[in-house]
Amino acid sequence: MCTAILCSLFVISAVFADDDFETILRKRNNLLQEELNMMFGSDIMLSDSEEQANKIIMELKTKEIDYGFGNPHHFNFSKHFFEYNDEVKDTELFKLIKAMPKGAMLHAHDTGILSPDYVLALTYKDNLFVCFEEDNINFLFSLETPTASCKTVWQSLKEARYSSGNIEKFDAALRKYFTLVIKNPNQVYTDINAVWSKFQQYFIVTTPLFSFKPIWEQYFYDTLKALRDDNVMYLEIRSVLPTLYDLHGSKYDTIDTAASYKKVLDEFMEDYPDFIGAKLIYAPLRSVDNNTVKEYLKIARELKKKFPDFFAGFDLVGQEDLGAPTKEFLQTLYEAKDEFEYFFHAGETNWYGTSSDENLADAIILNTRRIGHAFAITKHPLLIEEARKKDIAFEVNVVSNKVLKLVEDIRNHPLAVFLAQNLTVVISSDDPGLWEAEPLTHDFYVTFIGVASRHADIKLLKKLALNSLYYSTYHNKDKMVYEFEKRWTKFINTIVQDQ
Least distance in angstroms from the C-beta of 6 to a copy of itself: 26
Residue number, 95 or 455, with CB nearest to a copy of itself: 455
Q: Which residue stretch of 152-160, 208-216, 244-252, 347-355 sits at the interface with a copy of itself (rule: CB under 8 A)?
A: 347-355
- Tell me which residues in 451-490 interact with a copy of itself (CB under 8 A): 451-456
**Binding string, 254-283, against a copy of itself, x = CB under 8 A?**
------------------------------
Catalytic residue among 80, 345, 373, 442: 373
Among 78, 156, 218, 290, binds a copy of itself (CB under 8 A): 78
Residue number, 84 or 118, with CB nearest to a copy of itself: 84
SS3 for the chain is CCCHHHHHHHHHHHHHCCCCHHHHHHHHHHHHHHHHHHCCCCCCCCCHHHHHHHHHHHHHHHHHHHHHHHCHHHCHHHCCHHHCCCHHHHCHHHHHHHHCCCCEEEEEECCCCCCHHHHHHHCCCCCEEEEEECCEEEEEECCCCCCCCCCCCCEEHHHHHHHCCCHHHHHHHHHHHHCCCCCCHHHHCCCHHHHHHHHHHHHHHHHHHHCEHHHHHHHHHHHHHHHHHCCCCEEEEEECCCCEECCCCCEECHHHHHHHHHHHHHHHHHHCCCCCEEEEEECCECCCCHHHHHHHHHHHHHHHHHCCCCEEEECCECCHHHCCCHHHHHHHHHHCCCCCCECCEECCCCCCCCHHHHHHHHHHHCCCCEEEECHHHHHCHHHHHHHHHCCCEEEECHHHHHHCCCCCCHHHCCHHHHHHCCCCEEECCECHHHHCCCCCHHHHHHHHHHHCCCCCCHHHHHHHHHHHHHCCCCCCHHHHHHHHHHHHHHHHHHHHHHC
- # residues contacting a copy of itself (CB under 8 A): 64
**Binding string, 277-316, against a copy of itself, x = CB under 8 A?**
----------------------------------------
285 strand-pairing partners: 317
Residue number, 131 or 449, with CB nearest to a copy of itself: 449
- Under the binding rule (CB under 8 A), the answer on residue 138 touching a copy of itself is no
Neighbour count for residue 247 (Cβ, 10 Å) = 14
Among 171, 267, 386, 424, binds a copy of itself (CB under 8 A): 386
Among 283, 383, 460, 469, binds a copy of itself (CB under 8 A): 383
Residue number, 75 or 275, with CB nearest to a copy of itself: 75
Which of 157, 121, 109, 158 is closest to 137 using CA atoms? 157
- Tell me which residues in 398-437 interact with a copy of itself (CB under 8 A): 405-409, 411-412, 416-417, 420-421
Residue number, 158 or 379, with CB nearest to a copy of itself: 379
Residue number, 381 or 479, with CB nearest to a copy of itself: 381
Residue number, 4 or 382, with CB nearest to a copy of itself: 382
Cβ neighbours of residue 378 closer than 8 Å, sequence gap 6 or more: 384, 414, 417, 418
Among 218, 378, 424, 489, binds a copy of itself (CB under 8 A): 378
Least distance in angstroms from the C-beta of 380 to a copy of itself: 6
Q: Which residue stretch of 25-33, 87-95, 116-124, 170-178 sits at the interface with a copy of itself (rule: CB under 8 A)?
A: 25-33
- Tell me which residues in 144-203 interact with a copy of itself (CB under 8 A): 186, 190-194
**Annotated catalytic, 348?**
yes
- Under the binding rule (CB under 8 A), the answer on residue 105 touching a copy of itself is no
Least distance in angstroms from the C-beta of 32 to a copy of itself: 5
Residues with catalytic function: 348, 373
**Contact footprint for a copy of itself (CB under 8 A):** 18, 21, 24-25, 27-28, 31-32, 34-35, 38, 65, 69, 72-73, 75, 78, 186, 190-194, 321, 327, 330-331, 334-335, 338, 350-354, 358, 361-362, 364-365, 378-383, 386, 405-409, 411-412, 416-417, 420-421, 451-456
